[in-house]
Structure 1
């Protein structure tokens, strides 16, 4: 079978990401919060290394959400009726996204917490 061109492969990947964001509530939430985090990182004037860590972390969560969407779609295709093993597959996949999300929150707090606290402190001191 002939491999699709790079452009076509890229288009398929973009379509998959768009499908995930369009159809999955949690993916929308991750994109919104990830965008807000990056805006705040620029506002706090974080260095490029810190912003890079945040970008990788946000990307990991969104990638996890796309993998979770894939697992759900495949499980639904293979097991349209309720099955305990299908439920386990979906729950474990969702649990993986939860782990990534909790880790992302910790990365965000550790990375942005101190400079944000400094900004808030300056504001409250009138400086």
Structure 2
């Protein structure tokens, strides 16, 4: 058993190659093999978002606070709010982030396959991000 005390692992700014705007990440768990689970608490400032990406084994998002958006290719983004949980199946191209004028924090849970948790693609255009939510 291992206990990670609160504050023992630093918050880090998300990689600008894969995110637009200011995004902060706090590690929750990166379980050692043979376990595959990985989880992060991710805080998006208003207007911030991920790039398009997929996950080899899918991803679960649980919104902790604020209002955000989640989008898939060729569809208008959908609003997500505190308490909502989103399941994204393996291989589905998607993005997620804060609403334009409201921050959002979510717990992102995914599993690694051969050490990989995400396949990063192109950045989300402003027109895709600002499309009228479904």
**Which structure's CA Rg is the greater one?**
1
Q: Which has the higher strand share?
A: 2
Q: TM-score range by the shorter chain?
A: under 0.3
Q: TM-score, normalised by structure 1?
A: 0.26
Q: Which has the higher helix share?
A: 1
